[in-house]
Structure 1
Amino acid sequence: MEINATSSTNHFNDWPNDAGFEIFHEEREPVELTVSGHIPSYISGTLYRTGPGGHQVKTNKGTTFAIDHWFDGFSQNHRFQIIQTGSSARVVYNSRRSIDPLIENIRLTGNMDGFSFGQKRDPCTSFFKKVMSVFVPDPRPQEHHNIGVTLSINPPGLGNPQTTENKKGGGHASGIYTLLAKTDVAVMRHINPETLEPRGMVSQKALHPELTGTLSAAHAKSDPVTGDVFNYNLALGRSPVYRVFRVSAATGQTEVLATVTDAPGAYLHSSLITENYFILCVWSGHYAWGGLKILWEKNMLDAISPFDPNQKALWYVIDRKQGKGIVAKYECDPFFCFHTINAWEEPSPTDPLHTDIVADLSVYKNLDVLKRFYYNNIKSSSHASLNYTGDNRRSCDVFLRRWRLSSVDTASPLESREAVTVHTAKHDRSCELPVINPRFLTKPSRYIYGACDRDLSTFFDGLVKYDMETQTAAYFSVHGHSPGEAIFVPNPNGTTEDDGVLLSVVLDGFTEKSYLLVLDAKTMKEVGRANMDCVVGFGFHGVYQSQAVEGPSTDV
């Protein structure tokens, strides 16, 4: 059954979403928001959000410098503290930019130096004076690094020393003593968890001397039981090298679990874990010249090779408990992906004595979506947005897809098996920025939530709940309201997978003000909200920490 909380058939040009890109608030001191409806009593904690806070700077030369691509917007962090007082809730909000030195340098010079995701710059041939097998680090000062795609709370190994005072809440009332902002490189920025003031930088190389690569996934993966964190480190060059590693939550020590040397270097924003395995899927998005083209283009997007329909996606299954390294390899038809969703192990339906891996991802047919996210293509007031209407938009459609990796316990890393597609959801029932109930990570899961794009807007036009079992969808959609990523907060007394709420920051395009939405995850109906008097720019990801932490902090 299809359910619409509010539906609209208006053409996307009537959808006023540009405020989420154009209006830029530099900083907000803590202010209490106006709460309406009901915020359940178990939602007491802190929600952080990160992403672009603006993309234009007026320079001292009388010109306006503009960022080209959404992924390069000037990072800004947001904090919503939800405080339960008796039978009611209070929400306190504050925000802060994290790259004022970069913005000031642009203001003075009229230019932006260093590497980026998609900013157009003139190639600099002097880079090719470097040895071709070495990837040159970003030459900018650390305070100019634009880092703000994902956030991690209290990560092992890379956090501040976990002293007794810190664990009692020395950094925050709920025990948040370390907050890290991350992107798809191997360096991260410390953020003050209360004031959001940017602090120093930290590199993956500090975890282990072999993690010398410059790239990694913005989304690390955490064991939901132990809190151990898993990711890859990618060293580009003639022969790219992926090093898959684990950071122990118990000891803070890092171990390299496997090295992958037979896969092309690629833009891999996320990965997968199951109870016993880490899965590195190398999908389309391969860097040209072993990644060295980044030195020429000075951005990652233009360094990615064109989509090749004949080059298979590769799946590497890596043992994460017994030190066996790569235990299996699979391949399938090519696709592109930003976000994996969940994976788990289950008895094979053809032979219950063996174990299969089931994996859910949000996928694209090719790489066209990367260029869709140039600001000119997603702002409804831009003429270029007309290039992504009707049939022209179909190449950028996202699909929820489930794969099965058969009999992983009998596979061999020396030969590839087929990763079999089990189900692909229709585009209008699929989503980006997908999330599930975090209690079901590495376990069989049924419901996927995310931001949907049903051609009602040039951007996300609602939130969807997709049922993988019945293959049906339910929506929250209000005309002119553009939602960001939803965060699932489970009901501690819940008995079903969809028992909880979704938290999403939504822009009301008509009033040009945002609000924190509290949505019933079962019915997809609004139960409450906290209204703001400003715009929160369309960002990327967030993380929620309950006041009553149930288990280890997780990385996402």
Structure 2
Amino acid sequence: MEALEGKALSGPHYNDWPNALGFDTHYEERSPVELRVEGTIPAYTAGTLFRTGLGPRTFKTSKETCFSVNHWFDSFSQIHRFQIHAPQANEPIRVTYNSRLTSDGLIEKIRKTGKLDGFTFAAKYDPCKSFFRKVQSVFHPNGEPKPNEINVAVTMSANFPGFSKTGERLDSPHGPGQGMTLCNKTDATMMQMLDPESLEPVGIARQTTLHPELKGLGSGAHAQSDPNTGHVFNYNLDFDRSPIYRIFRVSTSSGKTSILAKIHHSAAYLHSLFLTENYVVLCVWNSFYKAGGASILWHRNLLDAMAYDSTQPATWFVIDKRPAEEGGRGLIARYTSDAFFAFHTINAYEEPSSTSEGTVDIVADLAAFDNMDVLEHFYLDNLVSDSPKVHASNHSFGSTIRPSYRRYRLPSPSTAATKGAQAILEYTSNKEDAFELPIINPKLVTKKHRYMYGVCNTGKSTFLDELVKCDASTHTTLRWSRHGHTAGEPVFVPDPKSSEEDGGVLLSVVLDGHEGKSYLLVLDAKNMEEVGRAHVDGAIGFGFHGLFLQA
């Protein structure tokens, strides 16, 4: 075990639900270690779970100052790897674990200089200058960084088409003889390439490598992959007087990148987008950048550069998934709806239209917020359980920091106009039944789904306190919660022998705040009851998303 300097905050914890260690992590296992397994982990889960996480919150610099992260999204990136080994005859399943701080080069630069991108930080630097630092450092790097000198760890992709294992252009499919590639992504156009076993940063990839027109600085951390072809879809946002969204596809068969549509529209912070069988759907919700994004340059952070505008509608763009050379028609429809903010789409699918015979409607599910208050709520003084401010902040923030599950319908995009159509809000859940970091059975991506899973903040802690299963048909929920145990995003692993949508298990990394250590939790996805867990000998930081690869 390798430990980094530092210690967690100490003191009384809100509602006796300790979570401080999850925001200031100094535990790292560079080499795989065996984990103690309780219960029965199903054999079909054999494979590898990669999890994004965070590292140390505070550390001393050579300038006799203390650098401190003040926002959850600014945390230094660390990646975790759980390998679930296929059981041998008459032997129980084994789980091994290793991890790596993938921004250690950046931390070392800050230790030596006391600076990050030209800013000097003291023990309590201005939090407004740190928000979304991992994105800002990609926007404004000082020279060409080394692979471990960038801070990206929101989502991960295996064998991202068009990139070699070190981020160079690859004009061919990923072949079995080339080995797996692992890509670490955030809401920007620079990505970090990792060794899939040691997790060592080995390269930097850029969207301009895929296509020279992808020169904008903004993008979505949640690129969408077609479940049938593997093609990857995303957007590239070029900040300008007239901002441009370039919707693109990267082919798995050739590595070629095609621009599907160019859309001139207000620049906004968009973390994710939708994909259906035939369409890409980009919803520009109301997290607008001021001055077309130019405000980022003088604020040098994203939060101050954004403004929530409830007087403007959210705008939904529907784009043909096919490039022009394959008969694609580019932008085919545009809808508007009431204003909202979101991080995560859940799923979208097509079904026969009830209003236009012979056409289809698009049904789109997401976790939506009333405004952008949640971004302010994610300052660590509001989240860390022993922070002196948590009692006041928990009372000052209302229900707006909790999402609602929403379902929208986009009627008949093949006949809708590119202006003027209305996105219909069909359902909104109450705040108590809503969830974030949403996932579904991966077999149902782009298809009609019933069950959704995620994490909840019900107020029992300062952060997250439940895992939830939501039924989109009956609008009922099942929950898992243990006092003092903070769970991360669930990852669904289907049971190959089950024909039921909820046949499988959920994998979630949980911090036992009382013991100060984490474990990999395995829940039955049908009844949300625990079937097993694998114990880690340290605290794993609260990251964002995971990637499971079947053995």
Q: CA-to-partner distance for each residue in 1:75-133, whole Å, 9 max, x for gaps? A: 00110010022352111100001111211111122222169xx953399xxxxxxxxxx
Match 1:218 to one of 200, 217, 221? 221
SS class of match (2:31): strand
Match 1:544 to one of 541, 544, 548? 548
Structure 1, 157-166 or 501-510: larger mean CA deviation: 157-166
Q: Which residue of 2 aligns with 1:109?
A: 113
Q: Which residue of 2 aligns with 1:138?
A: 141
Q: CA-to-partner distance for each residue in 1:313-336, whole Å, 9 max, x for gaps? A: 000000112310110000011100
- Residues 1:359 and 2:364 aligned together: yes
Distance in 2, Cα, partners of 1:336 & 1:506:
27
Distance in 1, Cα, partners of 2:170 & 2:320:
28
Identity over the aligned pairs, expressed in percent?
50
Mark the CA change 1:165 to 1:299 in structure 2 (over 3 Å): closer, same or farther.
closer
The question of whether the paired residues in 1 share the 8 Å contact of 2:162 and 2:172 is answered with no
The question of whether the paired residues in 2 share the 8 Å contact of 1:77 and 1:196 is answered with yes
The question of whether the paired residues in 1 share the 8 Å contact of 2:173 and 2:254 is answered with no
Distance in 2, Cα, partners of 1:55 & 1:235:
32
Q: CA deviation at 1:45?
A: 0.5
Match 1:179 to one of 179, 182, 203? 182
Mark the CA change 1:157 to 1:164 in structure 2 (over 3 Å): closer, same or farther.
closer
Match 2:162 to one of 146, 157, 164? 157
Letter paired with 1:344: Y
The question of whether the paired residues in 2 share the 8 Å contact of 1:45 and 1:544 is answered with yes
The question of whether the paired residues in 2 share the 8 Å contact of 1:119 and 1:299 is answered with no
Q: Which residue of 2 aligns with 1:121?
A: 129
Match 1:47 to one of 40, 46, 49? 49
What TM-score does the superposition give when structure 1 sets the normalisation length? 0.89
Q: Report 1 or 2 for greater relative contact order, CA contacts < 8 Å, sequence distance ≥ 6.
A: 1
Distance in 1, Cα, partners of 2:261 & 2:376:
33
- Residues 1:314 and 2:315 aligned together: yes
Distance in 1, Cα, partners of 2:289 & 2:279:
26
Letter paired with 1:319: D
Q: How does 1:127-526 map to 2 (within 5 A)?
A: 137-139=140-142, 141-143=144-146, 144-160=149-165, 167-168=175-176, 171=179, 177-261=180-264, 263-305=265-307, 307-321=308-322, 322-390=327-395, 392-413=397-418, 415-526=419-530
Distance in 1, Cα, partners of 2:314 & 2:392:
29
The question of whether the paired residues in 2 share the 8 Å contact of 1:114 and 1:140 is answered with no
Letter paired with 2:79: N
SS class of match (1:81): strand
Distance in 2, Cα, partners of 1:122 & 1:19:
21
The question of whether the paired residues in 2 share the 8 Å contact of 1:72 and 1:119 is answered with no
SS class of match (1:267): coil
SS class of match (1:195): coil
Structure 1, 480-489 or 102-111: larger mean CA deviation: 102-111
The question of whether the paired residues in 1 share the 8 Å contact of 2:492 and 2:505 is answered with yes
Q: CA-to-partner distance for each residue in 1:462-485, whole Å, 9 max, x for gaps? A: 100000100000001000000001
SS class of match (2:22): helix
SS class of match (1:120): helix
The question of whether the paired residues in 1 share the 8 Å contact of 2:162 and 2:170 is answered with no
The question of whether the paired residues in 1 share the 8 Å contact of 2:26 and 2:56 is answered with yes
The question of whether the paired residues in 2 share the 8 Å contact of 1:274 and 1:343 is answered with yes
Q: CA deviation at 1:517?
A: 0.5
The question of whether the paired residues in 2 share the 8 Å contact of 1:75 and 1:97 is answered with yes
Letter paired with 1:66: S
Q: CA-to-partner distance for each residue in 1:152-189, whole Å, 9 max, x for gaps? A: 00111123388999744664xxxxx1000011110111
SS class of match (1:42): helix
The question of whether the paired residues in 2 share the 8 Å contact of 1:147 and 1:189 is answered with yes
Letter paired with 1:292: A
Q: CA deviation at 1:140?
A: 5.0
What TM-score does the superposition give when structure 2 sets the normalisation length? 0.90
The question of whether the paired residues in 2 share the 8 Å contact of 1:122 and 1:297 is answered with no
The question of whether the paired residues in 2 share the 8 Å contact of 1:491 and 1:500 is answered with yes
Distance in 1, Cα, partners of 2:289 & 2:127:
16
Letter paired with 2:505: V
Distance in 1, Cα, partners of 2:274 & 2:172:
33
Distance in 2, Cα, partners of 1:80 & 1:114:
37
SS class of match (2:112): helix
SS class of match (1:497): coil
Gaps of 5+ in 2: 1-12, 120-125, 132-137
The question of whether the paired residues in 1 share the 8 Å contact of 2:28 and 2:98 is answered with no
Q: CA-to-partner distance for each residue in 1:230-261, whole Å, 9 max, x for gaps? A: 00001102111100000011111010000001
Q: Which residue of 2 aligns with 1:128?
A: none
Letter paired with 1:13: N
The question of whether the paired residues in 2 share the 8 Å contact of 1:43 and 1:82 is answered with yes
The question of whether the paired residues in 1 share the 8 Å contact of 2:52 and 2:543 is answered with yes
CA-based RMSD of the aligned residues comes to 2.2
Q: CA deviation at 1:387?
A: 3.6
Mark the CA change 1:208 to 1:221 in structure 2 (over 3 Å): closer, same or farther.
same
Q: How many pairs were matched up? A: 517
Q: CA-to-partner distance for each residue in 1:169-221, whole Å, 9 max, x for gaps? A: 664xxxxx100001111011110000000111010001111111111100000
Distance in 1, Cα, partners of 2:139 & 2:435:
36
Letter paired with 1:189: Q
SS class of match (1:465): strand
SS class of match (1:409): coil
Letter paired with 1:217: G
Distance in 1, Cα, partners of 2:235 & 2:421:
23
The question of whether the paired residues in 1 share the 8 Å contact of 2:69 and 2:130 is answered with no
Letter paired with 2:199: L
Letter paired with 1:142: P
Distance in 2, Cα, partners of 1:64 & 1:289:
34
Q: CA deviation at 1:55?
A: 1.8
Q: Which residue of 2 aligns with 1:529?
A: 533
SS class of match (1:360): strand
Q: How does 1:84-103 map to 2 (within 5 A)?
A: 84-86=86-88, 87-103=91-107
Q: CA-to-partner distance for each residue in 1:479-498, whole Å, 9 max, x for gaps? A: 00000011001111111110
The question of whether the paired residues in 2 share the 8 Å contact of 1:317 and 1:329 is answered with yes
Distance in 2, Cα, partners of 1:517 & 1:470:
27
Mark the CA change 1:162 to 1:256 in structure 2 (over 3 Å): closer, same or farther.
closer
